[in-house]
Chains A and B, each alone.
Chain A
Amino acid sequence: MNPILLTPTDLIIASSLVVLDAVVSVWLGLRLHQQLLVAAVRCTIQLLLVGYLLRFVFAIDTPALTLGLVLVMVAIAGREVAARPEKKLARYGNQVAGLSAVALATFVTAIFALATALRPHPWYAARYAIPLAGIMLGNALNAASLSLDALLSGVMRERAAIEAQLALGVRFRDATKPLIRASVRRGILPIINVMSAAGIVTLPGIMTGQILAGLSPIEAVKYQILLMFLLAGAVGIAAVSAAYFAIARLTDDRERLRIDRLG
């Protein structure tokens, strides 16, 4: 079955639904219509640009360009992870933790998938590597930022409890273990919810897209299952790495709790 190709007219007709939202905003005095229209225009421009960029990168298909684009995406995701928590580690600690977590999660899971399940030729083919890295990054970003935020806010809240243990001669890693556990748990829980609800409460977007694009539902489902497992891996790696990179910045060689490094 061939995909049904969309024309600009199809998209213009679909955009009437955004206009409908804008009318509702004016009617109910929500003052959201301007934001809504700007968001819709931004979304269209951003996606078109990405489409053209990807077509260009896929056509050239050199490992250096693919790696370069993935690195840019990783850098942007790392910056997002760093910016979200209310608390910030000194000396770019949030950036280091965020960037390391998303980079590790993305590269490990994307290369794992490319080397095992997908096996394109060559293994780093841009058409596979870039979308895969993109979806891993999105989820790793969420997991890392949740984990980092839980750790940084938790360490302030638990400061007295951690220091009471340190003062009794407990190792730093043992005194902070419950905090690490809670942070990693916070990062991983959303993907468990998504996996549990997949197919019952929601039809995952990628699977829906593939079915609309003409792939058989069973093939689409197989891809979706693969992606879910990869995402579970990426999310786990991201949440664990963000928590451990951050806690490493909050101590020193004398196993002190360096709360002074948190602003």
Chain B
Amino acid sequence: MRLVASGLTGAAGGPFDFSLQPGAAMAITGPSGAGKSVLLRMIADLDPHGGTVTLDGADRAIFTAPAWRKRVAYLAAEPGWWHDDTAPHFPDRARAEALMPGLALDPKLLVQPVHRLSTGERMRLALIRVLLNDPAVLLLDEPTGALDPHATSLVETILLERQRTGTALIIVTHDMDQAARLGARRFHLEAGTLTPQ
């Protein structure tokens, strides 16, 4: 689905105007505190803002907020957990288990207390949580920041697979090579302005 943002303004600055074709990717870089996460949150409608965002020409206002967020899914750099154990976070356990080997995760992790997971395991499990919604657009905030090169490569493989099936991707990353591997257009966010690189 085609995502178009027009005149997007908010705490991250702006106005931001960009569009993303199905399966395309955008990588956003910029110094800490520049508003990269806020920009993703604005697209996901988690933070108040001005301007419009459409999906295949349909204005966001016609979607309920939960319906929009299922289609345009945001994954925070430090994702939250709301149960003590991992399992209740994955109502569709069979599908979650099917995705785990591809991210080098042992399905046993689904029956563990969340606090026993490593940061990298949490990040990959949170990615699976988002992928289970089959979103049209993925908004990822440094998804591989806490991962080793092998796990990073596995995450990128899954993202490329999703892109091939039409999922668009906006990723905040400090890794220029990652942007290239994902075939992403690069943008730099600083002082409230998004500049193509």
Contact = CB atoms under 8 A, between A and B. Distances in A.
Interface of A: 158-172, 175, 178, 252, 254-258, 260
A168 B80 contact: no
Contact of B80 (A160, A171, A254): A160
Contact of A254 (B45, B74, B126, B129): B45
Give the secondary structure class of A's interface.
Answer: helix
B56 interface: no
A168 B134 CA distance: 11
B62 interface: no
Contacts, number: 67
A256 B129 contact: no
Given A164-B82, A254-B48, A255-B64, 7 more contacts: A162-B80, A163-B76, A164-B79, A166-B46, A169-B66, A170-B66, A256-B65
B129 A168 contact: yes
A161 B82 CA distance: 5
B135 to A, nearest CB: 9
A66 to B, nearest CB: 45
A178 B47 contact: no
20 contacts: A158-B80, A160-B76, A161-B80, A162-B80, A164-B79, A166-B46, A166-B69, A167-B76, A167-B130, A168-B129, A168-B130, A168-B133, A170-B66, A175-B82, A252-B48, A254-B45, A254-B48, A255-B65, A255-B66, A258-B48
B35 to A, nearest CB: 14
Contacts of A164: 76, 79-82, 126
B66 A171 contact: yes
A178 B82 contact: yes
Contacts of B79: 160, 164
A140 to B, nearest CB: 30
Contacts of A161: 80-82
B26 interface: no
B67 A169 contact: yes
Given A254-B45, A256-B48, A168 B69 contact: yes
Of the listed residues B46, B65, B126, the one surrounded by the most CB atoms of chain A closer than 10 A to its CB is B65
